[in-house]
Structure 1
Amino acid sequence: MPEGPEIRRAADKISKVLIGEEIIESNFYYERIKEKEEIVKNQNIKDITTRGKAMLIRFKNNWSMYSHNQLYGRWTVNLNTTKVKSRRALRVVFTTNKHAVRLWSATDIDLIPTDEENEHSFLKKIGPDVLSESCSLDLIEERLTSTSFHKKKASTLMLDQAFFAGLGNYLRSEILFDAKIHPDDRPFDLDKTKITQWAKSIKNISQLAYKTGGFTVSKSLADRNKENGEPRRSYRHAVFMRHQYECLNCKDRIERKWYGKRKVDYCPSCQIQRGKIKPTK
């Protein structure tokens, strides 16, 4: 599933060809929004923003299109003269004098008044967007130590969209490695120094992934891993999808833990568990 950085980059990409341009045609093929499509059909677009893994396209008539890509959704941008062939299900098309912007295969799309965005069933439940400028280190530390979250395992907390919106599976492994936090530790188990480092890693790794298109290590490290024969899914990360490779810091072997059906890759030497959760009686 695309995570916050990927959705933010998609929003940037389509903003460049839609904002300030006349929409000469828009078509909505997703059944859930068919009955409302006339409200926004051929409306020009005012701005495009993201809230975690959700995108909001705001029209000049004060309506918004909410979309969440889920596992298979994808945005594409082509010249409007390009013939596109795809086996994906086409959901939405915006056409300008030069470009065609298409949303494919997404299964969570809605049309809502812009002033009611915060009441949307998904948006009202999520926490602050980790990539937002308003998401400060102080705010992250405050939420890490709040009674709502401080007794949750790191492995659980990093996927909790009520904690922060936009974090996902690869960011979870990479953030915890960067902060040297064991997946089973809780904020409650850690001192302030570790909490501060965790907060910095949440912000810094998310921003790095946004700037680099999903890379969470430096270009030099990625190039070195690539030269060592690692595939792209692993060489662009420090631990995620590097199960059984050497840790970049200590040379120990990266290990993998499963939580439900989702994996966390981590270094057992760099990420030593500090707290032990007592069994409930």
Structure 2
Amino acid sequence: MPEGPEIRRAADRISKALIGKEIIESNFYYERIREKEEKVKNKNIKEITTKGKAMLIRFENDWSMYSHNQLYGRWTVNLNTTRVKSARALRVVLKTKKHAVRLWSATNIDLIPTSEEDEHPFLKKIGPDVLNESCSFELIEERLTSKNFHKKKASTLMLDQTFFAGLGNYLRSEILFDAKIHPDDRPFDLDKTKITQWANSIKNISHLAYKTGGFTVSKSLADKNKANGESKRSYRHAVFMRNKYECLDCKSRIERKWYGKRKLDYCPSCQIQRAKV
């Protein structure tokens, strides 16, 4: 599933194609929103933003299109002259004189008045977007130590969208490694220094992934691991998908734990468990 950084980058790409441009054609093929499509048909777009893994396209008449890609949704941006072939189900098309923006396969789409965004069933229950400028290190520390979250295991907390929106599987592994937090530890088990370290990693690793297109290590380190024969899905990270490789910090073997059906990769030497077993 695309995580917050990937959705934010998609929003940036779509914004360049649509914001400030005349929408000459828009079509909505998903049955759930067909009855509302006249509300936004061929309306120009004034803003595109994200909240975690959700995207909001805001039209000039104060209506919004909410979408969540889940596992299979995908946005594409092409020139109008490009002939597009896909086996995916087409859900939405937004065209300007130059570009065609398409949403494929997604099934979590809605058209709502912009003033009612905060009441949307998904949006009203998620926590702050970690990529938002208003999400400070202090806010992250505050939520880590709050009664709602301080006794949850790190492995659970890092995927809890009510904690912070936009975190997902690869960010979970990378953030916990960067902060040197064991996946079974809780904020309750840690001292102030470790909490601050964790908060910094949540913010910094998420922003690094956004800026670099999903890389959570430096370019020089990624290039080195690539030269050593690692595939892209491993060389762009420190631990995620590197369970058969040595730790970049201590040379111990990266290990994998499963929580439900979702994998978490970590270094047992760097991420020492502090919670009482």
Q: Do both share a fold (TM > 0.5)?
A: yes
Letter in 2 for 1:202: I
Q: Report the Cα offset of residue 244 of structure 1.
A: 1.7
> 2:12 is paired with a residue of what secondary structure?
helix
Q: Report the Cα offset of residue 275 of structure 1.
A: 1.0
Q: Report the Cα offset of residue 243 of structure 1.
A: 0.6
> 1:149 is paired with a residue of what secondary structure?
coil
Paired with 1:257 and 1:107, the residues of 2 have a C-alpha distance of 31
Paired with 1:38 and 1:30, the residues of 2 have a C-alpha distance of 14
Letter in 1 for 2:250: C
Letter in 1 for 2:80: N
Match of 1:30 in 2: 30
Paired with 1:112 and 1:258, the residues of 2 have a C-alpha distance of 38
Letter in 1 for 2:127: G
The CA deviation string for residues 91-126 of structure 1, in whole angstroms up to 9 with x for no partner, is 000000000000001110000000000000000000
Letter in 1 for 2:220: S
Match of 1:160 in 2: 160
The CA deviation string for residues 60-99 of structure 1, in whole angstroms up to 9 with x for no partner, is 0000000000001111000011110001110000000000
Match of 2:136 in 1: 136
Q: Report the Cα offset of residue 237 of structure 1.
A: 0.1
Q: Report the Cα offset of residue 276 of structure 1.
A: 1.7
Paired with 2:225 and 2:260, the residues of 1 have a C-alpha distance of 29
Q: Report the Cα offset of residue 233 of structure 1.
A: 0.4
> 2:2 is paired with a residue of what secondary structure?
coil
Paired with 1:217 and 1:268, the residues of 2 have a C-alpha distance of 19
Letter in 2 for 1:88: R
Letter in 2 for 1:39: K
Give the TM-score normalised by structure 2.
1.00
The CA deviation string for residues 216-250 of structure 1, in whole angstroms up to 9 with x for no partner, is 00001100110111100000000000012000000
The CA deviation string for residues 8-56 of structure 1, in whole angstroms up to 9 with x for no partner, is 0000000001000000000000011000001101000010000000000
Q: Report the Cα offset of residue 188 of structure 1.
A: 0.1
Match of 1:60 in 2: 60
> 1:9 is paired with a residue of what secondary structure?
helix
Paired with 2:65 and 2:44, the residues of 1 have a C-alpha distance of 12
Q: Report the Cα offset of residue 152 of structure 1.
A: 0.1
Q: Report the Cα offset of residue 165 of structure 1.
A: 0.1
Match of 2:262 in 1: 262
Letter in 2 for 1:238: A
Letter in 1 for 2:140: I
Match of 1:177 in 2: 177
Paired with 2:57 and 2:275, the residues of 1 have a C-alpha distance of 44
Letter in 2 for 1:154: A
Q: Report the Cα offset of residue 157 of structure 1.
A: 0.0
Q: 5+ unaligned residues in a row in structure 1: which ranges?
A: none
The CA deviation string for residues 165-187 of structure 1, in whole angstroms up to 9 with x for no partner, is 00000000000000000000000
Give the TM-score normalised by structure 1.
0.98
2:8 matches 1:20 = no
Paired with 1:225 and 1:28, the residues of 2 have a C-alpha distance of 44
Match of 2:127 in 1: 127
Paired with 1:157 and 1:167, the residues of 2 have a C-alpha distance of 10
Match of 2:86 in 1: 86
Paired with 1:255 and 1:106, the residues of 2 have a C-alpha distance of 33
> 1:257 is paired with a residue of what secondary structure?
strand
The CA deviation string for residues 175-218 of structure 1, in whole angstroms up to 9 with x for no partner, is 00000000000000000000000000000000000000000000
Paired with 2:87 and 2:183, the residues of 1 have a C-alpha distance of 38
Paired with 2:181 and 2:165, the residues of 1 have a C-alpha distance of 20
Letter in 2 for 1:264: L
Match of 1:101 in 2: 101
Residues matched between the structures, number: 277
> 1:209 is paired with a residue of what secondary structure?
helix
